[in-house]
Amino acid sequence: MKPIRKAVIPAAGFGTRFLPFTKAVPKELVPVVDKPVIQYVLEEAAASGITEAAVIVSDGKDAIRHHFAPVPALYDRLRHDGKNDLLESLEAIDGLMRLTYITQTELKGLGDAVLRAEEFVGDEPFAILLGDTVTTSSCGVPVTRQLIDAAMRAGGSVTALERVQKALTKRYGVIDGTDEGDGLFRVKTFVEKPAPEEAPSNLAIASRYVMTPEIFGFLHSGKPGKGGEIQLTDAMRALCAVQPMFGLEFRGRRHDIGSKLDFVKATLEFALARPEFHDALADWLKGLEI
């Protein structure tokens, strides 16, 4: 497999689950403590060896571009005030990687968002990281890097997998596959939102992917499904019939910030992990009458 240098970051969706906040502000800019979700996503990509990303945006999402653009007047002020730590943290954002913005004019689903990046990706395998989901690694290797390493070893596309409660499979796309050991599964097919009694597994597709460029052919021929959307999972199902496709039960957790409850949980978890907040927040939480 060719090296994986490029990533596609879908960030065009309406974010209806996070209304009313997302009426004017993209959900990808929801902060977890002091950084917007999409900054965590790009930091994960950069730490995984990605050097170029296409961010898929829609009208009204210019604030995402602004977040990653330099602000000379602010930098001058921070330099003048001797706030070098802040200045460095902002310059680090500018230097993360080369970013291209692609507009998805009609919100026709995740599959359509990825298809907008066909020309950007070209003939290379690439990563997809959903712009509204943060991951944490429990082994020191960023989740996208875990996927890239697995794709290199296995020689095929790899999707991140997360175990979910069997009773909740109706909310997820799950795999039907065989265990190859070390968290890797060979995917036979994907089943969208199965009832628990019909679910072939409780291994759910989890917001990070490494795909071969052949996925684009299947996105082109994909028929719009529920709500007129082109589903990425449908194209992945078609791809796994002609190419080896794997799933990796990654080491770590994912936090879907597009869900209000996950957002609140992630905010507390990430704040507790910060030494400057840990003790004060833990004391305050203990004092809450729950």
Phi and psi angles of residue 105, each rounded to the nearest 5 degrees, phi first:
-75, -35
**Please, which residue, 156 or 222, has the CB nearer to ligand UTP?**
222
Q: Smallest distance from the beta carbon of 278 to ligand UTP, in angstroms?
A: 30
Describe the crossing of helices 260-272 and 275-286 by its angle, rounded to 10 degrees. Answer: 120
User: Under a CB-based contact definition with an 8 Å cutoff, are residues 187 and 247 in contact?
Assistant: yes
User: Under a CB-based contact definition with an 8 Å cutoff, are residues 229 and 192 in contact?
Assistant: no
Closest CA to 202 of 160, 173, 179, 228: 173
Stretch that binds ligand UTP, among 84-92, 108-116, 141-149, 197-205 (CB under 6 A): 108-116
Q: Name residues whose C-beta falls within 8 Å of residue 80's C-beta, 6 or more positions apart in sequence.
A: none
Please tell me the distance from the alpha carbon of residue 272 to that of residue 268, in angstroms, as a whole number. Answer: 6
Q: Name residues whose C-beta falls within 8 Å of residue 110's C-beta, 6 or more positions apart in sequence.
A: 10, 13, 130, 229, 230, 231, 232
**Please, which residue, 23 or 79, has the CB nearer to ligand UTP?**
23
Site for ligand UTP in 191-230 (CB under 6 A): none
Work out which of 1, 14, 180, 188 binds ligand UTP, going by CB under 6 A. Answer: 14
Q: Smallest distance from the beta carbon of 113 to ligand UTP, in angstroms?
A: 3
Please tell me the distance from the alpha carbon of residue 3 to that of residue 224, in angstroms, as a whole number. Answer: 32
Work out which of 107, 152, 164, 272 binds ligand UTP, going by CB under 6 A. Answer: 107
Instruction: Tell how far CA 148 is from the center of its chain.
Output: 14
Stretch that binds ligand UTP, among 72-80, 82-90, 130-138, 176-184 (CB under 6 A): 130-138
Q: How much helix, strand and coil, in percent to the nearest 5, is found in the chain?
A: 40, 25, 35
Work out which of 110, 154, 238, 239 binds ligand UTP, going by CB under 6 A. Answer: 110
User: Under a CB-based contact definition with an 8 Å cutoff, are residues 113 and 231 in contact?
Assistant: no
Closest chain position to ligand UTP (CB): 13
Work out which of 4, 8, 11, 257 binds ligand UTP, going by CB under 6 A. Answer: 11
Stretch that binds ligand UTP, among 10-18, 71-79, 184-192, 213-221 (CB under 6 A): 10-18
Residue 10 interacts with ligand UTP (CB under 6 A): yes or no: yes
Residue with tokens 């004391």: 283
Q: Smallest distance from the beta carbon of 260 to ligand UTP, in angstroms?
A: 10
Work out which of 4, 7, 8, 12 binds ligand UTP, going by CB under 6 A. Answer: 12
Residue 17 interacts with ligand UTP (CB under 6 A): yes or no: yes
Site for ligand UTP in 43-62 (CB under 6 A): 56
Residue 8 interacts with ligand UTP (CB under 6 A): yes or no: no
Give the footprint of ligand UTP on this chain (CB under 6 A). 10-18, 56, 104, 107-110, 112-113, 130-132, 258
